[in-house]
Structure 1
Amino acid sequence: MARLGVWKWLGKRSRLLPAILLLFAMSTDLATPRTVSAAALYAAAILAAAPLLSLRGTVLTGASAFLLDWAMFRYFGYRRNPIEFSELAMVATVTVIAIFLNRLIHHRKAQLQSVRDIAAAAQRAVLPRPPERLGPLCFAARYEAAQTDAQIGGDLYAVVDTPFGVRCVIGDVRGKGMGAVRAVAVCTVTFREAAQQESSLAALVERLERAVALDARQAGNVSELEGFITGAFVEFPRGGGEFRLVNRGHPAPLLFLGDTVQYIEPGRPGLPLGLAALAGDPVCVDTVAFPEGASLLLYTDGLTEARDETGVFYDPAARCTGHRCPGPDAIVDALLADVHRHTGGRRTDDMALLAITRTPDKARPASTR
């Protein structure tokens, strides 16, 4: 963590590097014999300006290096010397090259920003922010991709208000890259459509099973084992103090009751979506009490597989037990902060969190946001 802090500190002050190199070059010229030249330092300052400064800053750095080098020649009494012309020509040439690199980097950054904007739009389309409140249920979601600059990965979540109650899903696609993003899109779109049409949670899961298996075949996977999605499906019936849960090979959700936290293990383990043909067992639906003030946390294995420097896995139930969180935002924010402390800021897998809190119809829990 300390190393990351040092690099952040240096990154904020990197724009000073060209000026520091120019001062060092001038000091070297003044402190050494006249036969020693600091031309390499002048060139280094100009080239450092290309990626760190604007076009104007790069031009000013090149002009300053040229003038300083010319002044050093005058200071040491060189006039119309071939060495002088050669060195000043080198500085001028490096300046032209630096200006070209600066423009090239500028256009590459513009292209990268465009790609990031498209990725952010894709994330909002595929993983829109859930509603903050539906009846007595309050929601909060957070998503962190394994790669710092990535906007979307292989984890998914969705919340849908349906005639049969509020239905939620959280899932983790096997694999990485664009194939995983495609599977996320297929699963979320199918879930949102089927949640409004299927009258039972079991029928909803079976429909997603068929969609995932079909997508895996269309993607050209050689084996059914190559494409699957672990998922936890939750249904909150209207007017009831309970929820129904189907777990298909996914990490067990966490139930918060006061200052106690417990895992909700499935009554019968289920295979991930896309692998139903290997078992053929009916969908197991568990019913769990969900009184007022209780919270449910759905998450992906990026949370429980996060490790510290010694390789110890993160245990959210043990870390959260004894702490009261007033609402879903407080739960996910506290968990993210704690897992970052546990890992020292390192991320090796995507991580999605979806927290749900049941409150009285006219009450709303406090939020950290």
Structure 2
Amino acid sequence: MRRVFQLLLSILLIFQIQCVIASDDLYSFYYSGESEFINRFNASLKSYAKAKDIDLEMFDAKNNSSAQLSQIYSSVSSKDPLIINLVDTEQASEIIYHAKSYRNRIVFFNRKPSDDVFKKYDRVWYVGTNSAAAGKYQAELISDYIELTKNVDRNRNGVLDIIILQGEKDHGDTTGRSSEILKQLSDKKVKYKVLSQNFDDWDTQTAFNDVKTLASKVGLKNIDMIIANNDAMAVGAVDFLNTQGYNLGTDSKDKTKYIPVFGVDGIPEAIEYIRQEKMTGTVFADFSALAKASVDIALDDSLDDEVLTRKIWYKITDRKVLIPFVKYSSFKSYFKKYR
């Protein structure tokens, strides 16, 4: 009897050790490794995982939803937690269906599936940013810029002629950022006219071509401002303007050849352009905070919002956490406000 007890105890200890080992493994899945936003997040994720001695394995779907499903299906049987940046948010339910039998904890990152997904499985969370807040903060940057410079109406027609460079069609961030920026401008009594509002799919070159096409139609003198849903597209806009002798930054001899450009994300190229005064401003979330929240939720054993909120220091509501934004510009320092 004693030997049986010892054997059962040994089996239990082995099982516990295996569980601990499993909890120290983490899989992350990205829609595209070519995204600068994803690269920044991944760098923060790797750094935080290393500090916590977590084995991290990463997968790049290269914007192929079928490839991503295959990558995820090959990993769910490990029972380890998954951090997923979806190629197609419509496939979230299918992923949940396969993960439920293995009880994987899943953290969807940056691309939020529908609320129905959260009702189907109690071990799924979302970590991201507030799309509307990005538009709100962009509008605050623009309002501050208008107040400080007084000369944004370049063609003196009494309205702010703007280009909006949008992300993917039907993407939550595209819809949230674009609609909120226009709402905020209206609330701030800014008279504006949208010259174009095309979908440039978060891509630098696509945005470059978009601004080039519009400039050939209306002329650069009739463009007062460019507002992009992300920094990659803002960088594309600045790159085109540079080819026309505009937005050359601190070395420019003609300061009138400047069209303010605003973005979202705080990618290195955009920050550098802002420092060089080629680009006007951006808003961004703390990548390290995004990574920390994703990892801490994925590896924890709690299912309670309040318990997890106390652990990660960010408010979780209905298993969703939104990391706040910070403003950064070439014309005003905002950092003291957020320290």
TM-score, normalised with respect to structure 1: 0.23
CA radius of gyration, larger in? 1
